[in-house]
Amino acid sequence: MSFDPQHLWEAMGWPARFVFLLLIVMGIACMYVGFERWVTFRKARGQSRSLAENLAGHFAKGNIEGALKTCQDQSFKFSYLGHLMEVGLKEVNARFDKHGIHAARRAMERQSVQEAADLKRGMNILATVGSTAPFVGLVGTIFGIINSFVGMAESGSGGLGAVSAGIAEALVETATGIAVALIGVWLFNY
């Protein structure tokens, strides 16, 4: 038997194939979430920095309405700073006294919770894959070992040729589970 991917796939039983495909799907999901979050964070950070520069001029002049209009500009729609400042500026613009300032603070605190939730979207997928992929790989390993014992039983001996396909299958499942978990954990931490 050759140990190239095609021959390993052919030697795998259906339960092990299912586990392997599940690990591949988990890996693809991690890569998708990681890429999507990277694009989202990059847009949000860039637009927030640009907005901060624009707001500095308005605040230096005391122009609250101009700052509010700038926050509502569609060119800053991904800016987490814009979302926070917009709700606060609406409150201050409606009532420019200590009660308006307190209302603005509360509105911004509520909005910051929403922004944090929006920015963390998809992180549960990365955390789940990172923590469960080694165990899913271990299930595939068990099927590979079972396949080894089936090979021994069919050949009537315990030679290397009888068990090599099952052991290779088990090691591939283990390695795939660990690799997928590493990707998930690295992307989550990044």
Whether residue 130 contacts residue 185, with contact meaning beta carbons closer than 8 Å, is answered with yes
For residues 188 and 33, what is the distance between their CA atoms, to the nearest angstrom?
Answer: 9
- Above 60 in pLDDT, residue 26? yes
pLDDT > 70: what percent of the chain? 93
pTM for this model (two decimals): 0.77
- 18-24 long-range CB contacts below 8 Å, 24 or more apart? 19/136, 19/137, 19/139, 19/140, 19/143, 19/173, 20/140, 20/172, 20/173, 20/176, 22/136, 23/133, 23/136, 23/137, 23/140, 23/173, 23/176, 23/177, 23/180, 24/176
Find the helix packing angle between 80-94 and 14-61, rounded to 10°: 40
Least confident of 51-60, 125-134, 146-155: 146-155
- Above 70 in pLDDT, residue 4? no
Largest Cα–Cα distance of the chain, in whole Å?
A: 89
Provide the pLDDT confidence category of residue 159 given band limits of 50, 70 and 90: low
pLDDT in tens, 105-126: 899 899 999 988 888 889 999 9
